[in-house]
Structure 1
Amino acid sequence: MNLAFTVLEITAPVFILAMIGFAWVRLGFDYDVTFVTRLATTLAVPCLIFTALMKTEIDPQALTALSLATVAAYGAVTVLSWALVAGLGLSRRTYLAPLIFGNTGNVGLPLALFAFGSTGLSYAVVVFAIMAVWSFTLGIWLVAGRGSLNRVLREPLVAASLLGGLFLWQGWQTPPALTSALELIGQMAIPLMLITLGVAVARLTTRRIGLALGLSVAKLVLCAGIAWAVGRWFALDPVAFGVLVLQLGTPVAVTSYLLAEKYGADAQAVAGLVMVSTLLSVIAVPAMLALLL
């Protein structure tokens, strides 16, 4: 019973904030997703990532181990997802990126924070940063047929991760007043991302629900299973292990839908994956937490 209450306490804020965004749109209120997303990804989330890394007291060797495990896990997920899409005869441009990339920002960062505290958040931003680089290179190439290393280097999320890692490595700290300001800005990130997730889901339309459900279940089993195996292989500490499994087990990212819309893939099919996998996470996330806690 205590475990059930613990899982509920962790997951309830995530789903409550997402439902606020969902209800906001259903009630007919305006919500500028483009503006809020830009605010979050160019300002709030980079500040959150930078301060989390700068202030973390985690052993750099532990962060290195998690980084290597994350790269290995995403490599394995990419290969097996490619095989799955090819075996089912599905469009690589439409289905492969959603199967690889989860919602490690909107869902993964809050879950890591609520489940494992500031230490979990520090680990989670490492996974998130690696996923972002993978997404801006391989992800764009899969959907559009071209990648952009320059775009990766210009992304505030990546720059904040590299800068935060440098400060962590050197033991540097920003002046207290600046640190407080950056932390205050970063505190916007999680509620903004969760409410925007709910708004985005409320506005999506879907088709081929049966296929979306099957692929969503396959993604969950594949990604969480690989993360579990890789985490054990690298002998990660319990918090890093839990964060890796949670992050890779997150539902399909809304950005996958935006990329499909931008580059001419089947955006409605991806929308179905986003919606179904997000709804599936209502059951999947508590189940994963029950196994990890």
Structure 2
Amino acid sequence: MQGVFDGFATIGLVIALGALLAHLQVFDESAQRLLSRLAFFVASPALMIVTLGAADVSAVLSLNLVATVAAVLVPVAVYAALARLVWHRGLGHTTIGALACSYVNAGNLGIPVASYVLGDAALVAPTLLLQLLVLQPLALALLDADTRAGRPRLLQTLARPFTNPLTVGSLIGLALALTGWTLPTAVQDPLELVGNMAVPAMLLAYGIALRLGPGLGAGGSAAEVATTSTLKLVVQPLVAFLVARYLLGVDGHALLAVVVTSALPTAQNIFVHATRYDRATVLARDTILITTVGAVPVILLVAAVLG
């Protein structure tokens, strides 16, 4: 269990550092936007190349992937219905909200949790690759469509995901993993160095936003924040359990793995996307905060019951 606390403590301390620097007026809102843009356009694409290039793509073909997909689709469908029918949100806002209730922190938190709680970092690979290669490109395409005026042509719509730096980085990493190619040291080392900036930049930007932005729930509906947080912390891992255990017959350590990874909190890069496209930034910020705090007891409970 120490790995769970270590992972969350690391994230919390870096976020707190960002908030402290903002409080001391070392950073302001322009610094928060700069860090978010650095993470989005430069560091995260480099991280995707390095991370996916070393991933075991065969892990995606496991039964756990089916349960993981179901655990994503259910909260997304519930939120999307409420966002459009009850809160009357636009496409961009709905996209960010859907990510907030389904896109887990599979990288900087999922990997240590998988290593120390599940005993194998590779167990997070199906979730990581599903998010990077399917969910993220689709969401970014929707956000691009929402923020660009006019009716795009079909060719523009199809090509748009491939102009996004995160999608391009993910595709390059996947190509390296599928072919077994390795980049020259002169290219790999700088990519790793730049990619290592991604997570700290995201967390510092998030801490600045917590300190300088509106209070918890102040930027929108408290009911909406409660909904996204509940869908993420309760519904997503519950659906993963029900599908894996009763529809696919998964049990033992494999069942524990799929439920724990589904119970991870909302990823910090959702806030980066929200900031980049200026859509639902407070909703993303608040959901990340609530789920990051709430995921600790949830994961401990899952490990105690299924471990």
Q: What is the CA-CA distance between 1:115 and the residue it aligns to?
A: 1.6
**Structure 1: how far apart are the matches of 2:206 and 2:286?**
13
Paired residues, number: 280
Q: What is the CA-CA distance between 1:214 and the residue it aligns to?
A: 2.6
Is contact 2:265–2:288 with CA below 8 Å preserved after alignment? no
Does residue 277 (structure 1) correspond to residue 287 (structure 2)? The answer is yes
**Structure 1: how far apart are the matches of 2:238 and 2:268?**
14
Which structure carries more helix by proportion? 1
TM-score by length of 1: 0.77
Q: What is the CA-CA distance between 1:281 and the residue it aligns to?
A: 2.2
Give the counterpart letter for 2:231 in structure 1: K
C-alpha spacing 1:239/1:184, structure 2 compared with 1 (3 Å): farther
**Which among 17, 26, 29 is matched to residue 26 of structure 2?**
29
Unaligned runs of 5+ in 1: none
Match of 2:7 in 1: 10
**Which among 218, 226, 232 is matched to residue 214 of structure 1?**
226
Match of 2:236 in 1: 223
Match of 1:133 in 2: 137
Is contact 2:14–2:200 with CA below 8 Å preserved after alignment? yes
State percent identity of aligned pairs. 19
5 Å-filtered alignment, 1:23-172, equals 23-31=20-28, 32-56=31-55, 58=56, 60-65=57-62, 72-86=70-84, 89-93=86-90, 96-102=94-100, 107-117=105-115, 119=122, 122-123=125-126, 125-129=128-132, 130-140=134-144, 148-172=157-181
Match of 2:190 in 1: 181
Give the counterpart letter for 1:177 in structure 2: A
Is contact 1:106–1:197 with CA below 8 Å preserved after alignment? no
**Structure 2: how far apart are the matches of 1:249 and 1:64?**
24
Q: What is the CA-CA distance between 1:259 and the residue it aligns to?
A: 6.7
Match of 1:190 in 2: 199
SS in 2 for 1:109: coil
Partner deviation per Cα, 1:34-68 (whole Å, 9 max, x = no partner):
33222222221112111122223x2x321244766
C-alpha spacing 1:103/1:195, structure 2 compared with 1 (3 Å): farther
C-alpha spacing 1:153/1:278, structure 2 compared with 1 (3 Å): same
Partner deviation per Cα, 1:110-145 (whole Å, 9 max, x = no partner):
112322356367555424312221211334557879
Is contact 2:110–2:261 with CA below 8 Å preserved after alignment? no
TM-score by length of 2: 0.74
**Which among 267, 271, 274 is matched to residue 254 of structure 1?**
271
